[in-house]
């Protein structure tokens, strides 16, 4: 069968390996597997949210409230915006897909940093759009502005904090890029890890209201990281009503589930869980920094719930990741990004102990 030509240039997204695979292939006991590959919340699901999911189990035969009124009201209150400014997706991934389908075609291009969230490229390629990247993985305003002027892309992606590198872009720099872009180009500010950056340094904190004055900017957030709901698939986009109205034309009905909706409504009000998650993270990430220093390699200062280790030539990220995998420790190899580096989600104290032990053995 002949598929659409655009598919020839698309590499399937490589998700973090699941626990089941390690159990099956390497015979590691499930309780001994440590998964630090997908930036999930290591604390797990908030008990309050888990209880709500259980209570809603018997409503699984009902379609969810398609207006998502309660969830939008909760987000509107949290971010001091109106319901008409919000669109909900099955993960913020789905909002990225709506954006791509609403704006791109074969004659358009998109602009992003040298190394950033893989789905921007995949969704753009699905529409046949061209990909333009800045030279640096960091989001440098000067690089973005000159690439914007040279290529006039339809969408500019700013991932801050950035995945898979972990660095963040100061609010001032983000606004400088936005100011340089004309109104026919959409700027996407993807704040999937914003809660972690905001807690580390307010200079990097961006809230939707910082961007609401621009008709061509959308802020994306997710319940998958700090809120601990990766498995529920809920994310959101916040922008001026005129933009949200167009994106709604791309949305299938009932795009999140009855259980996901109930979980997200509960999670949106559960600030204590987010605070606990961030406190644990801050306590544990310093161990990763010290570990790198002890073993003589570099890392990128992280504003996210993961850390990126940069290896010297004598250490091979693929060999190290594979050796760890056989021991039941799943991390993310960044070789496919052309980097001799690994990305590790900062886990619980116990998970991190296991990681450090195996890692030291593997490199020793
Ligand atoms: C995790 C992540 C998302 C979205 O995740 P969903 O689970 O689809 O909400 C978006 N952008 C970045 C950079 C991410 O790391």
Q: Is 105 helix (H, G, I), strand (E, B) or coil?
A: coil
Distance CA 85, CA 107 (A): 29
Domain co-membership, 222 together with 174: yes
Ligand 1 atom at minimum distance from 224 CA: 7
Let me know whether 105 and 203 are in one domain.
Answer: yes
Which of 270, 299, 319 is the C-terminal boundary of a domain? 270
Are 184 and 318 members of one domain? Answer: no
Name the E strands within the chain.
34-35, 86-89, 109-112, 130-133, 155-159, 186-190, 217-222, 235-238, 298-300, 306-310, 329-330, 332-333, 341-345
CA angle 225, 83, 239 (to 5 degrees): 70
CB 260 near ligand 1, within 6 Å: no
The encoded tokens of residue 360 equal 């030291």
Residues 68 and 12 in one domain: no
Partners of 220 in the β-ladder: 190, 237
Answer with the one of 270, 299, 314 that is the final residue of a domain: 270
Do residue 34 and residue 85 come from a single domain? no
pLDDT the model gives residue 364: 87
- 191 Cα: distance to centroid of ligand 1 (angstroms): 9
Cα→Cα distances 104→66, 81, 119, Å = 26, 27, 14
pLDDT of residue 254: 97
Residues 93 and 108 in one domain: yes
Q: Is the domain of 257 the same as that of 117?
A: yes
Distance 71 CA to ligand 1 centre (A): 19
Is the C-beta atom of 113 inside 6 A of ligand 1? Answer: no
> What pLDDT was estimated at residue 154?
98
From the CB of 192, is ligand 1 less than 6 Å away? Answer: yes
Please give the distance, rounded to the nearest whole angstrom, from the Cα atom of residue 236 to the centre of ligand 1. 10
Q: Are residues 166 and 257 in the same domain?
A: yes
Domain identity same for 15 and 96: no
Same domain for 131 and 224, yes or no, is yes
Q: Is any atom of ligand 1 closer than 6 Å to the C-beta of 208?
A: no
pTM summary value? 0.96
Domain boundary among 225, 252, 270: 270
What separation in Å is there between the alpha carbon of 54 and the centre of ligand 1? Answer: 25
Count of structural domains within the chain: 2
pLDDT for 19? 87
Report residues of the chain scoring pLDDT below 70: none
Indicate the average pLDDT of the chain.
96
Say yes or no: 40 and 167 in one domain: no
Tens-place pLDDT, residues 178-218: 999 999 999 999 999 999 999 999 999 999 999 999 999 99
Nearest CA, atom 11, ligand 1 = 192
Please identify, by atom number, the ligand 1 atom nearest to the C-alpha of residue 234.
Answer: 9
**Residue 185 belongs to a domain with what CATH number?**
3.40.640.10
The verdict on 187 and 65 lying in the same domain is yes
Domain with 104, as residue range(s), is: 47-270
Q: Is the CB of residue 224 below 6 angstroms from any atom belonging to ligand 1? A: yes
Q: Which CATH number covers residue 12?
A: 3.90.1150.10
């Amino acid at each position: 069968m002949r598929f659409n030509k655009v598919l020839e240039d698309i590499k399937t997204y490589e998700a973090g390996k699941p626990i089941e695979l390690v159990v099956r292939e390497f015979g590691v006991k499930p309780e001994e597997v440590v998964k630090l590959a997908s930036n999930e919340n290591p604390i797990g699901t908030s008990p309050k949210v888990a209880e709500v999911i259980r209570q809603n189990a018997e409503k699984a035969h009902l379609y969810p409230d398609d207006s998502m009124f309660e969830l939008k009201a909760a987000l509107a209150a949290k971010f001091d915006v109106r319901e008409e400014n919000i669109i909900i997706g099955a993960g913020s991934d789905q909002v990225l897909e709506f954006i791509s389908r609403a704006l791109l075609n074969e004659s358009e291009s998109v602009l992003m940093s040298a190394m950033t969230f893989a789905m921007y490229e995949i969704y753009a390629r699905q529409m046949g759009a061209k990909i333009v990247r800045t030279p640096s993985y960091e989001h440098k305003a000067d690089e973005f502005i000159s690439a914007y002027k040279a290529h006039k892309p339809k969408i500019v992606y700013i991932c801050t904090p950035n995945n898979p590198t972990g660095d963040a872009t100061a609010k001032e720099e983000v606004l400088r890029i936005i100011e340089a872009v004309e109104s026919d180009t959409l700027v996407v500010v993807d704040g999937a890890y914003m809660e972690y950056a905001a807690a580390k340094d307010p200079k990097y904190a961006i809230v939707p209201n910082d961007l609401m004055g621009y008709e061509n900017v959308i802020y994306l957030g997710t319940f998958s990281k700090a809120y601990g709901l990766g498995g529920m698939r809920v994310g959101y986009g916040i922008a001026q009503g005129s933009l949200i109205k167009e994106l709604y034309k791309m949305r299938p009905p009932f795009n999140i589930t009855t259980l996901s909706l109930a979980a997200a409504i509960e999670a949106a009000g559960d600030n204590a869980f987010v605070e606990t998650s961030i406190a644990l993270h801050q306590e544990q990430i310093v161990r990763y920094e010290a570990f790198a220093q002890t073993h003589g390699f570099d890392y990128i200062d992280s504003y996210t719930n993961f850390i990126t280790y940069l290896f010297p030539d004598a250490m091979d990220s693929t060999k190290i990741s594979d050796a760890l995998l056989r021991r039941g420790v799943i991390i993310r190899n960044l070789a496919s990004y052309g980097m001799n580096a690994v990305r590790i989600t900062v886990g619980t104290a116990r998970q991190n102990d296991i990681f450090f032990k195996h890692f030291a053995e593997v490199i020793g």
